[in-house]
Structure 1
Amino acid sequence: MNPTVTALRAGVLRGGIEVRHTLRSPQDLWNYFFPNLAFLVVMFFMRDATVPGTNFSLGARTLPSVLGGGLAFGALVTMMMALTVEREDGTLLRAKAIPNGMLGYLVGKVVQVSGMQLVSFVLLVVPGVFLVDGVELRGAGSWLTLLWVLALGLVACLPLGAIFGSLFANPRNVGVIMLPIMGLVATSGIFYPITNYPVWLQWIGQAFPVYWLGLGTRSALLPPEVAAVEIGGSWRHMETFGMLAGWAVLGLVVAPIVLRRMARRESGSSVAARKEKAMQRIN
């Protein structure tokens, strides 16, 4: 059998096993459940507020935005944290020692992160539809839009998470990039219409996939008239597809290069040194 196909199959199986382990871990499930619960509470109390210039509920407008923005944030951060933690504990070094092991490892991580992000999506959207009025899937077109936006958004964000994760050998240093990512989410029109921000901030938000994921999920779950508060007064599906596809291509080209260079630097001595430093901090 082709070694690449074998590595891909092993990666898919590994990812499925990790998803099942996560679903059986109360602590891991709580880490996914609690943020979604907090978002639902916030949106419930926002249900009587309205989007500026309309009579539409701000809570209903925020729910699909959080679905898209949360998917982007989760894909970036979860992939980034997984790589840094498993680089420190030697998992990446063991994968490197197996033929096509890095390919299988990355495929497994993609399956795991994608699976758990979809679980988070369901945890938020199912109760959210009952808590706030105005959010609904209006037919086959809405379902199709939601599916391609989510799929393309994951492909756009997961490689970026892998790139960022490969830059840090110590998980405790990941906080350096967490604040910029959180700031990006805040300025991408997730919690408030981006048209109310300064023009220069609108351009920054539109340069990254978080904004386009939020816009795409809003287009699938909200009535057409709500598009009036968006840039250009429309859902801009072509632009959404183009930007997400562009980020996906960029990530898929750059991520393997960065990861191969990171893997070449890994050795038994470097892993042992990081473990020793970690033990010193504990003691």
Structure 2
Amino acid sequence: MKTTAVRAGLQRGWIEFRQTLTTAQDLWGYLFPTVILLVVMSFQSGSTVAGFSLGAMTLPGALGMGIGFSGLITIAQQLTVDREDGTLLRAKATPDGMFGYLIGKITLVGCMSLVSLVILLVPGLVMFDGLATGVGTWLTLAWVLVLGLVATMPIGAIIGSLFSSPRSLGLIMLPMMGLIAISGIFYPITEYPEWLQWIAQAFPMYWLGLGMRSALLPDALAAAEIGESWRHLETVGVLGLWAVIGLVVAPVVLRRMARRESGSSVAARREKAMQRIR
């Protein structure tokens, strides 16, 4: 039965992903942030830090931020939308339906994250000189992407389970912006007070930025990082710890959320949404 749920989830996630490639709104969601980031980085290309283009230094951070947002926010948005329109209730009513649903969402968000990374990375490599492009670069990009999503998507699912409406998710954006600000996602945090450095290192966002910088930037720039090192082992350790915590806690939270779902609760949310439209 689990095998059937996995197969159904993979198929559903792939179908939903393909639909994003044929929907104007979803295509705009892929392209608009990328265009803005590329324009900003192009203006930065004339400035240098230690002889290296500031625009090129910004690219890895933008990639890391994209992974973090996909895992934490996109999965939460998907969950709240499906909760409001009754999709979760239908999944709950079928054998292993919730398990298959989660597999589908993981497939969808994983594919979306990969596309977003590629459409930002490829133009970035063309625009900026000095970025690493060897085999080690692609291997590091791959494991940071996979481990980053595994570390953040369960947390995103937990966040999504706490909100009954996608409109309420705006409450999480301010803390997210604050986390990005202190995490040095675009730059090393060695100039921060030591206590703030410890806070930043407690969250996945810092390690996503560091991992992407280690993949794309010259080894000489590691001198600007904490410990003057890319700290791959620490990156794996912290992201792995977040992944374990999320994978243990998320199923429990989601099961409790699913138990509270009923036809009356879905109807009440729909009625509330319709009142806002009126």
TM-score bracket, shorter-length normalisation: over 0.9
Please state how far the C-alpha of 1:200 moved relative to its aligned partner. 2.1
Q: Conserved in 2, the CA contact under 8 Å of 1:69 and 1:211?
A: no
User: Distance between the aligned counterparts of 1:191 and 1:48, measured in 2?
Assistant: 17
Q: 1:66: Cα distance to partner?
A: 1.0
Distance (whole Å) between structure 1 residues aligned to residue 177 and residue 6 of structure 2: 33
Structure 2 Cα separation of the partners of residues 23 and 201 of structure 1: 40
Structure 1 unaligned regions, length at least 5: none
Query: Which segment drifts farther, 64-73 or 102-111?
Result: 64-73
TM-score w.r.t. the length of structure 1 is 0.96
Cα RMSD of the aligned pairs, angstroms, is 1.0
Q: Which residue of 1 aligns with 2:38?
A: 40
Q: Secondary structure at the match of 2:101?
A: helix
2:88 equivalent in structure 1: 92
Partner Cα separation in structure 2 for residue 188 and residue 29 of structure 1: 29
Q: For residues 138-157 of structure 1, what are the alpha-carbon distances to aligned partners after superposition, in whole Å with 9 as ceiling and x for unaligned? A: 2x222222211111111001
Which of 241, 248, 257 is the matching residue for 1:262?
257
Alignment of 1:224-243 (within 5 A): 224-243=219-238
In 1, Cα distance between equivalents of 2:174 and 2:70: 14
Query: Superposed, which structure 2 residues align to 1:188-203 within 5 Å?
Result: 188-203=183-198
Q: Percent identity?
A: 66
Q: List per-residue Cα deviations over 1:23-81 (Å, max 9, x = no partner).
A: 11111010111011111111111112223xx2222211110111012111122111000
Task: Output the amino acid matched with 1:125.
Answer: L
- Aligned with residue 213 of structure 1, among 200, 208, 211: 208
Q: Contact 2:59/2:124 (CA < 8 Å) preserved in 1? A: yes
1:95 deviates by: 0.4
Aligned residues: 278
Which of 57, 64, 70 aligns to 1:61? It is 57
Secondary structure of the residue aligned to 1:94 is helix
Residue in 1 aligned with 2:132? 136
- Aligned partner (choices 270, 273, 276) of residue 268 of structure 2: 273
Out of 173, 176, 183, the residue aligned to residue 178 of structure 1 is 173
Where do 5+ consecutive residues of structure 2 fail to align? none
Tell me which of 159, 166, 170 is aligned to 2:161: 166
Contact 1:43 1:132 in 2 (8 A): no
Assess if the C-alpha contact under 8 Å between 1:73 and 1:185 holds in 2: no
Distance 1:182 1:110 in 2: 24
Asked if the contact 2:214–2:230 (Cα under 8 Å) also holds between the matched residues in 1, the reply is: yes
Contact 2:186-2:209 at 8 Å conserved across structures: no
Structure-2 residue corresponding to 1:108: 104
Using the size of structure 2 for normalisation, the TM-score is: 0.97
Displacement, 1:192? Answer: 2.8
Q: Equivalents in 1 of 2:75, 2:107: separation in Å?
A: 11
Work out whether residues 61 and 187 of structure 2, in 8 Å CA contact, stay in contact via their aligned partners in 1: no
